[in-house]
Chain A
Amino acid sequence: MLSAPLAPPAMHIPDGFLSVFVAVTLWIVTIVIVAIALHRVSADLGERQVPMMGVLAAAIFAGQMLNFPVAGGTSGHLLGAALATILMGPWAAIIIMTCVLGIQGLIFQDGGLLAMGANIFNMGIVGVIVTHFVYRSVRALAGGKPWGIFVGGFLSAWLSVIIAALVTALELALSGTSPANIAVPAMGGIHILIGLGEGLITVGALAFLYFVRPDLLNVGEAKPAGASVWIAGLVVALAIALASPLASSFPDGLEWVAEQQGFLHIAQSAPYQIIPDYALPGIANKELATILAGIVGVLLVFGAAFGIAYARRKDRAPQAASRTLN
């Protein structure tokens, strides 16, 4: 019942699913954005926020254990990017989600290491930015009335999950590890439902906070200036959310996929064509190479076994010595 303390793996990309091109590009983008976020957070918030962000990252991690039964043995979970953004603002939320996703990948193998840049990008950066845009827009529309908190919370949480999933699917398609015309509508469709759970839990949490610690939600604060910009953001976000799955399910979508795969072909083959004709002499055919690989493999395992025996013998000597002393 309580055996799965980790988040659902639906969106944590494991290693092996992203091409190096995609993974490294997203690592670079992520590093730049996280560096900016770190700069902004230490400038704006001060040292008091360091323990706060650590504890909140732990709380988001633990909060992902909280679930509720939906139907047929499935359950709704919390991802938490939206809550973190609403409570701490976008920059701190990016850092909090970076820590959550970093620990999940590094310690619990929930998401890969090379793929971590992408996972932080999808859930920690895209999720946070979408939430920020949508939530602030709705709050501004509501003009400081409490409904803005709840409607904004629901919409931002829901959309942040859907759009993060769509971005994930596009990355897989770009890596050639999932066909775009299937991955995009499938991931989008599933996460339209999963996102509903995220939205409802987020509203529940906001309701609790609204009663208990309204100060954390800056109740009453609204920025009417610039509302049009935020509304535009909301419209764009909605358009992406609704249009992507539709687009790729139309026959025309297949042309787009073909284009992507053409691009993919170029992007992927490049690293291997650096030294195209210099095959190593003697192992030019595949069968021989496989046999050779097998032999080297056996040698490696044998070497490891030898290493253990050697290490054991070295360990035993001091233990024996200490035993005689006792």
Chain B
Amino acid sequence: MHIHFLDPYHAGRSPIHQLDPRVKLVLAVAFILTASLLPFGAWPSYILLLALILSIELLTEMGIAYFLKRAFLALPFMLAALPLIFTVQGTPLATFTLGAWTFTISVEGVERVASIAFKSWVSVQMAIVLASTTSFPQLLAAMRALRIPKLLVAIFGLMWRYIFVLADEALRLLRARAARSGARRDAPYKTGGTLAWRARVTGGMAGSLLVRSFERGDRIYAAMAARGYDGETRTLPLPALQTWHWLVLGAGLIIYILIWLVGALIV
């Protein structure tokens, strides 16, 4: 059993899938930048961003539910922001005491936490749209076109190729460990060993993964060198952007600026 389903890319022919990866990458990052630039509590702009991302999700023809379900990934991180409901000064909303401590929840604090959650939520949806409608080779081509150093892109590409191989390897190591993590039938003993022993065994697994990766790296280099690799990665460039790509890019950026203006000037 392999874990190729890790790859979030869904092949498709929707307009979002067919958009040039360079344009898509720039628009996705600019969307997130717009969300981050908006001040706390700029709700009209937040609603516009949500409407925009929902429209884009509709256009992917993958079903909005897919995106909304995955978008809860960033939720645990909200814990870091939660204390703000007490620490931000402002109009008190509620007060309660816990032992010697008195906590005051402020309206401004609640608004700030809700703003952070909302910005994070729409941003992660855009990141999911990008990852699920753009294949990794397309992303690599976009990175190359956006002047990310070739060496780094080449390493990214090799890494992607072997992520699934090595994730399988890690999975098999975990299974082999689980298969021997047993208890005696007449068990009078405490199973599992000590914490330090468990950690050391896990370290051994990591070490074995690394050693095998070193050996694999040498073999890959030999195979690449055998085909004429000399340190330079040569690829075919992406075709030049067509007029409609520029139009989409321009329109997207203008929409972002308008949304930002609504938030920055009115609120």
Q: How many chain B residues touch the partner (CB < 8 A)?
A: 113
Summed over the interface, the residue pairs from A and B with CB atoms below 8 Å come to a total of 357
Tell me if A301 and B51 are in contact (CB < 8 A): yes
The DSSP consensus for interface residues of chain A is: helix
Tell me which residues from 104 to 127 in chain B have a Cβ below 8 Å from any Cβ of chain A: 112, 116-124, 127
Tell me if A13 is interfacial: C-beta within 8 Å of chain B: yes
A5 in complex: contacting residue of B6, B28, B123, B156, CB < 8 Å: B6
Nearest CB on B from A306, distance (A): 10
Q: How far is the CA of A233 from the CA of B25 in the complex (A)?
A: 40
Tell me if B162 and A54 are in contact (CB < 8 A): yes
Tell me if B8 and A107 are in contact (CB < 8 A): yes
Tell me if A298 is interfacial: C-beta within 8 Å of chain B: yes
Complex contacts, A272 vs chain B, CB 8 Å = 39, 264
- Nearest B residue to A168 via CB reads B80
Tell me if A62 and B44 are in contact (CB < 8 A): no
- Nearest A residue to B82 via CB reads A178
Nearest CB on B from A66, distance (A): 5
Nearest CB on B from A222, distance (A): 22
Tell me if B6 and A201 are in contact (CB < 8 A): no
Tell me if B200 and A200 are in contact (CB < 8 A): yes
Tell me if B2 is interfacial: C-beta within 8 Å of chain A: no
* Contact A95/B199 with A15-B32, A62-B167 known, Cβ cut-off 8 Å: no
Contact with A along B193-213 (1 / 0, CB 8 A): 001101111111111111101
Tell me if A213 is interfacial: C-beta within 8 Å of chain B: yes
Nearest CB on B from A49, distance (A): 9
Tell me if A207 and B87 are in contact (CB < 8 A): no
- Nearest A residue to B232 via CB reads A47
- Nearest B residue to A178 via CB reads B80
Interface stretch, picked from A125-133, A141-149, A244-252, A307-315, is: A307-315
Tell me if B15 and A203 are in contact (CB < 8 A): no
Q: How far is the CA of A55 from the CA of B38 in the complex (A)?
A: 40
Q: How far is the CA of A113 from the CA of B14 in the complex (A)?
A: 23
Tell me if B80 and A172 are in contact (CB < 8 A): yes
Q: How far is the CA of A172 from the CA of B83 in the complex (A)?
A: 12
Complex contacts, B157 vs chain A, CB 8 Å = 54
Tell me if B262 is interfacial: C-beta within 8 Å of chain A: yes
- Nearest B residue to A305 via CB reads B58
B58 in complex: contacting residue of A105, A280, A308, CB < 8 Å: A308
Complex contacts, B231 vs chain A, CB 8 Å = 42, 46-47, 50
Tell me which residues from 38 to 95 in chain B have a Cβ below 8 Å from any Cβ of chain A: 39, 43-45, 47-48, 50-52, 54-56, 58-59, 61, 70, 73-74, 76-77, 80-81, 83-84, 87
Complex contacts, A107 vs chain B, CB 8 Å = 7-8, 131, 136
Q: How far is the CA of A25 from the CA of B178 in the complex (A)?
A: 45
Tell me if A52 is interfacial: C-beta within 8 Å of chain B: yes
Tell me if A224 is interfacial: C-beta within 8 Å of chain B: no
Tell me if B202 and A87 are in contact (CB < 8 A): no
Contact with A along B148-180 (1 / 0, CB 8 A): 010110111111111101110111011100100
Tell me which residues from 30 to 50 in chain A have a Cβ below 8 Å from any Cβ of chain B: 34-35, 38, 41-42, 46-48, 50
Tell me if B250 is interfacial: C-beta within 8 Å of chain A: no
Complex contacts, A169 vs chain B, CB 8 Å = 80
Tell me if A54 and B154 are in contact (CB < 8 A): yes
Complex contacts, B130 vs chain A, CB 8 Å = 106
Tell me if A263 is interfacial: C-beta within 8 Å of chain B: no
Tell me if B257 is interfacial: C-beta within 8 Å of chain A: no
Q: How far is the CA of A140 from the CA of B160 in the complex (A)?
A: 37
Not counting A109-B73, A297-B47, a sample of 13 additional A-B residue pairs whose C-beta atoms are within 8 angstroms of each other reads A20-B33, A47-B230, A53-B158, A65-B174, A66-B209, A67-B202, A68-B198, A106-B127, A109-B70, A113-B29, A113-B32, A205-B203, A275-B265
A residues contacting B by CB (< 8 A) are 1-2, 5, 9, 12-20, 23, 34-35, 38, 41-42, 46-48, 50-59, 61-63, 65-70, 76, 78, 80, 83, 87, 95-96, 98-100, 102-103, 105-110, 112-114, 169, 172, 176-179, 181-183, 187, 197, 200-209, 212-213, 216, 268, 271-272, 275, 278-280, 283-286, 289-290, 292-294, 296-298, 300-301, 303-305, 307-308, 311, 315
A-B pairs with beta carbons under 8 Å apart, 24 shown: A2-B171, A9-B73, A20-B37, A38-B152, A41-B151, A52-B214, A55-B162, A57-B155, A59-B162, A62-B167, A76-B199, A109-B127, A109-B128, A112-B74, A172-B81, A176-B112, A178-B80, A271-B264, A279-B265, A285-B266, A286-B43, A290-B47, A293-B51, A305-B58
